[in-house]
Amino acid sequence: MGANPFHTPPPAGDTQLRPPINLQSRRMRLNTVRRYVVNHLVTVLAVLSTVIVIVPLIAILAYLVYMGATSLNLAFFTKIPAPVGMPGGGMANGIVGSGIVLGLCSLMGIPVGIAAGVYLAEFGRGKPLAGAIRFTADVLNGVPSIVMGLAIYSLVVMRQHHFSAFAGGVALAIMMVPTITRTTEEMLATVPHSIREAALGLGVPKWRTVLSVSLKTAAPGIITGCMLAFARVAGETAPLLFTAFGNQFWSFKLTEPIAALPLQIFVYAMSPYDEWHRLAWAGSLVLIVMIMVAVTLVRIYAARGMLKGAS
């Protein structure tokens, strides 16, 4: 209504004017009380749900550290699994095997992931193709890891006719690529345009600009992204079940089945032997400590690197 707000229309004939709202009426007071009660109730509920969530999660962590720390010993890091029924033994081959598979997957996944991120941020800005790639990467990120394992089994293992460390590495690499692509793109997007323009203005070719200026400026963030992707695949079990398969003995060949820490935790947890349960707890603690050290180191490094990049 475009009417003048100060203009009050004259009361028309016999229609009664509505009485003004009495703010002190019983109904209004009750309403106010209700609103404040609901407000406090919801606040309490929100705090309560946070407590309900946080407490068990801390309990899980604490229980894990307790069980792991009491089961851990030197043999865990130096020995390979003992035969069933024999005491002792460790997961040295699992730790080394995990290292080999993870190294392999990083070697394949990180360069491709970063390059795809560079395409999205530096070459594909605003192109529909880049939008489609971005969307596909996000969707691929949510595909269950066991499906990756299944696909790599069909491609690599069926051809080679046996399980191999290489197949495990490929499966994990495929999981890494979309995560790294998206973080690389996001990090490159934070690099100011003026820096790129400065480099281009000096006659530096585009590829050189990308490598030595954009990527270098965004390096701390990209390294963080890579480490987070690494931490995520380090604990993956499902894609290794039928690619790396696991191994009770030492194995360093890429063409043979290889042990991996998460796989051994799974097998030992499902076994009926107490000794193996103990090893599973110890393995879980080692795995989590490895992942957390990686994530925390990267956080510290990134915090420092960010400061350097901003100056």
Residue 260 makes contact with other proteins by CB under 8 A = no
Residue 48 makes contact with other proteins by CB under 8 A = yes
User: 259: exposed, middle or buried (C-beta count within 10 Å: 0-12, 13-18, 19+)?
Assistant: buried
8-state DSSP, 153: I
Q: Choose, by CB under 8 A, the member of 101, 265, 279, 298 that binds other proteins.
A: 265
Name the one range near other proteins by CB under 8 A: 5-13, 44-52, 72-80, 81-89: 44-52
Closest approach, Cβ 200 to other proteins, in A, equals 7
Query: Degrees (nearest 5) of the Cα angle 148, 153, 157?
Result: 150
Q: Choose, by CB under 8 A, the member of 244, 287, 298, 302 that binds other proteins.
A: 287
Closest approach, Cβ 15 to other proteins, in A, equals 29
Report the residue number, 11 or 192, with the smaller CB distance to other proteins: 192
Strand, helix or coil for residue 258:
strand
Q: Which of 103, 63, 94 is nearest to 76 (CA)?
A: 94
Report the residue number, 106 or 237, with the smaller CB distance to other proteins: 237
Closest approach, Cβ 311 to other proteins, in A, equals 24
Cβ-contact 117, 183 below 8 angstroms = yes
Residue 122 makes contact with other proteins by CB under 8 A = yes
Cβ-contact 106, 176 below 8 angstroms = yes
Residue 307 makes contact with other proteins by CB under 8 A = no
Report the residue number, 8 or 48, with the smaller CB distance to other proteins: 48
Residue 195 makes contact with other proteins by CB under 8 A = no
Q: Choose, by CB under 8 A, the member of 76, 166, 266, 276 that binds other proteins.
A: 266
Residue 124 makes contact with other proteins by CB under 8 A = yes
List the alpha helices (DSSP H) in the chain: 26-71, 74-78, 92-118, 128-141, 145-152, 158-160, 165-189, 193-201, 206-209, 215-234, 238-241, 261-269, 274-310
CA distance 279 to 55: 26
Tokens 């941020």 correspond to what residue? Answer: 121
Binding mask 4-43 for other proteins (x = CB under 8 A): -------------------------------xx-xx--xx
8-state DSSP, 211: I
Residue 138 makes contact with other proteins by CB under 8 A = yes
Closest approach, Cβ 80 to other proteins, in A, equals 20
Report the residue number, 62 or 84, with the smaller CB distance to other proteins: 62
Q: What is the dihedral of CA 173, 175, 179, 184, to 10 degrees?
A: 20
Positions in 218-247 near other proteins (CB under 8 A):
228, 231-232, 234-238, 241-242, 245
Q: Choose, by CB under 8 A, the member of 91, 172, 177, 187 that binds other proteins.
A: 177
Q: CA-CA distances (angstroms) from residue 43 to 56, 97, 215, 246? A: 21, 49, 45, 50
Residue 174 makes contact with other proteins by CB under 8 A = yes
Residue 181 makes contact with other proteins by CB under 8 A = yes
Size of the site for other proteins (CB under 8 A): 94
212 token code pair: 């030595």
Positions in 80-109 near other proteins (CB under 8 A):
none
Measured in whole angstroms, how far is the alpha carbon of residue 22 from the centre of its chain? 56
Residue 56 makes contact with other proteins by CB under 8 A = yes
